[in-house]
């Protein structure tokens, strides 16, 4: 999406369905921290993006918006370059909140980061 954090970080949405969302992000100069490895904040941005797209899929898009309410992440493995893939799956889909499980893996399916994101569903003003 032009002019967004998704564009700045190179995040691409690959799949959106009732089962979840798949998104990718390169590990490069845009997403590395000063020590040359994937920045934890970039992983969190990827995780929240996947959860946000997933929540948007389920809401009444004409009358509601969804926003991040809470997110946590455990960074399990360093990554220097290549591509990471986030898979977001809904744990809970309520009227006003949704909770998503996001797992970020590398090209070899090794777990890089696990995250949980709570999305708030609010009426458009």
d(CA 34, CA 123): 40
- Catalytic annotation present for 15: no
Among 15, 48, 64, 70, the active-site one is 48
If phi over 0 gives left and psi between -120 and 50 gives alpha, with beta otherwise, what is residue 24?
beta
Q: For residue 89, how many other CB atoms are within 10 A of its CB? A: 14
Report, as residue numbers or ranges, the catalytic residues: 48
């Amino acid at each position: 999406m032009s002019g967004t954090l998704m564009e700045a970080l190179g995040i691409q949405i690959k799949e959106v369905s009732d089962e979840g969302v798949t998104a990718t992000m390169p590990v490069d100069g845009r997403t590395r921290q000063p020590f040359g490895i994937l920045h934890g904040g970039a992983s969190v941005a990827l995780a929240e993006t996947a959860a946000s797209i997933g929540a948007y899929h389920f809401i009444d898009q004409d009358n509601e918006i969804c926003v991040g309410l809470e997110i946590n992440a455990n960074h399990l493995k360093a990554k220097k370059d290549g591509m990471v893939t986030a898979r977001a799956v809904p744990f809970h889909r309520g009227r006003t909140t949704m909770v998503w499980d996001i797992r970020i893996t590398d090209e070899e399916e090794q777990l890089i980061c696990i995250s949980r994101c709570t999305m708030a569903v609010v009426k458009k003003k």
